Structure 1
């Protein structure tokens, strides 16, 4: 198994509390978020965009439409702000929760390897209608050894844990993804609530790291959702392509991350739409033939 398939956060316990979070970016129709540094007048502003490799402090602000740092937020999944760091080759994924001072500056420690990085913030400024995901680039100095994209597989292993992925990403359609957690071959049925859920999923589009719209199904204490072994999500892929999925789950007091590479599948044709679809294809074929004849002449 590729060594990018997952990791646990026991060794990063002092990095601000790793966790996961269902992506709220791109509300409505699966539009990816995190592709812009500014949205609706709010801007993600780093104190430094060139950083040093190693465990390093990172500080930033979310600037409001009035040009001042935002100091009031509506909590989402028990936190005012969720911060995600990932290298452009999709390695080094970290989901942390920075600490904010009274002036609106956030601080957190990240474990950084040389290369080009993308930082995301999931925030809901007080008074703003809904959550937004802002993204900004950062460079970490040093020799950069980009890693190839891990192959697509339905299984990730993190130590004694195995996570199996079932379901497909379909462009433009909401689809269910089910992740099943086991340890030493036995189903895990006592997952611990973490940030108001049994699991949190971040999905990024390979090529531009567009941040996907992902919703958890159910929540702890609702009388329906079991604490494992299955964790279900609804996800909408905005386009065809390849995506990286990062699942955070907590068991025995440790948050672990399982990573997957997923390629989209074609949408199923609706039976009543098939004749029209076939006719459209025929028209396109005729159109192409016409142009070919025209070019010949």
Structure 2
């Protein structure tokens, strides 16, 4: 467990427009009750690492270029490759998702370092960022990982495998692959920037902001029925687990909390603190996982790097879609 923050970020390759991907059709209501579906920005799937991905007006003074390496979307990195054996599922049907991490020789990796109580963390998110899952698959002796998934809506998804091989000198990696859910499809609208989120009867308030190329503190305060929650339970070795995904290309930031249970200074709530650096300006979705009374809950926020939510941007946001127990 690291004290402070580590952000794992890698260069991105963008997915093709949903309407043409895997034969996905049109014509259903958006999967968040946030108004009419908004069109997505179109990106070139062949864009190389380090290319600008944010719009100029969201560039945070960087002209749309990356101030630090963005990422999380490479299928291969550092001699390792994510081999997704299940690239396509059917929306609304429970399916076994299977994948393997392979080394430079094409052999399946069977030994990993444990980080945050797990050998591998699997993040699954829809490209409109309305659906988010933090999954913990099981590994067979031959190196094949598997986990059941039941995606609520058709469209494009991204699978992120966050792990550190046990090989000497190996570093933490986040590899990504595209996943398609077939069926009738319509994109969900991105919720407006917000400083408060509600989930499962809890309210979470966000203080602080993401800044392009600069570290900044994010504080998330958890309350229930108007009372601060001061007895959060450890989850994955911390009192909170935060993932940030950039809208458009889904650049991935895995943020670790400041402090850990048992270090003598970190309190079990109501506030959980993180330090983060955005790779560029742009719009991001933040997903906070926390455990209380034996259950894991997820609160989601929309933020813009370089801006601070004000009084007009603190309406509670909808909880991201989580069926089958959040996948935790």
Counterpart residue number, 2:125: 86
Deviation sequence 1:244-280 (CA, Å, 0-9, x none): 100000000010000000001169xxxxxxxxxxxxx
Number of positions where the alignment pairs a residue of Structure 1 with one of Structure 2? 246
Partners of 1:32 and 1:117 in 2: how far apart?
19
- 1:123 equivalent in alignment to 2:107: no
1:198-277 correspondence runs (5 A): 198-265=239-306
Counterpart residue number, 2:178: 137
Tell me, yes or no, if the aligned pair for 1:31 and 1:213 is still in contact at 8 Å. Answer: no
Partners of 1:181 and 1:46 in 2: how far apart?
36
> Structure 1 regions of 5+ residues with no counterpart?
1-20, 268-297
SS in 2 for 1:109: strand
With the length of structure 2 as denominator, give the TM-score of the two structures. Answer: 0.72
Partners of 2:172 and 2:77 in 1: how far apart?
11
The runs of 4+ residues in structure 1 deviating greater than 2 Å are 21-27, 29-33
- 1:51 equivalent in alignment to 2:92: no
Counterpart residue number, 1:181: 222
Counterpart residue number, 2:19: none
Tell me, yes or no, if the aligned pair for 1:26 and 1:32 is still in contact at 8 Å. Answer: yes
Partners of 1:115 and 1:26 in 2: how far apart?
24
Name whichever of 189-198 and 123-132 sits farther off: 123-132
SS in 2 for 1:212: strand
Tell me, yes or no, if the aligned pair for 1:171 and 1:266 is still in contact at 8 Å. Answer: no
Counterpart residue number, 2:325: none
- 1:24 equivalent in alignment to 2:8: yes
Partners of 1:126 and 1:176 in 2: how far apart?
31
Deviation at residue 22 of structure 1 after TM alignment: 7.2
Deviation at residue 41 of structure 1 after TM alignment: 1.4
Partners of 1:47 and 1:210 in 2: how far apart?
22
Tell me, yes or no, if the aligned pair for 1:213 and 1:236 is still in contact at 8 Å. Answer: no
Partners of 2:10 and 2:219 in 1: how far apart?
21
Deviation sequence 1:185-225 (CA, Å, 0-9, x none): 00000000011000000001111000125231000000100
With the length of structure 1 as denominator, give the TM-score of the two structures. Answer: 0.79
Deviation at residue 37 of structure 1 after TM alignment: 0.5
1:68-107 correspondence runs (5 A): 68-107=107-146
Counterpart residue number, 2:99: 60
Structure (1 or 2) with the greater helix fraction: 1
Gap change, CA 1:212 and 1:33, over 3 Å in 2: same
- 1:42 equivalent in alignment to 2:80: yes
Structure (1 or 2) with the greater strand fraction: 1
Larger-gyration structure (1/2): 1
Partners of 1:215 and 1:192 in 2: how far apart?
16
SS in 1 for 2:8: coil
Tell me, yes or no, if the aligned pair for 1:84 and 1:94 is still in contact at 8 Å. Answer: yes
Deviation sequence 1:119-148 (CA, Å, 0-9, x none): 000010112432010000011110012100
Partners of 2:181 and 2:104 in 1: how far apart?
29
SS in 1 for 2:150: strand
SS in 2 for 1:147: coil
Gap change, CA 1:203 and 1:218, over 3 Å in 2: same
Name whichever of 29-38 and 234-243 sits farther off: 29-38
Counterpart residue number, 2:231: 190
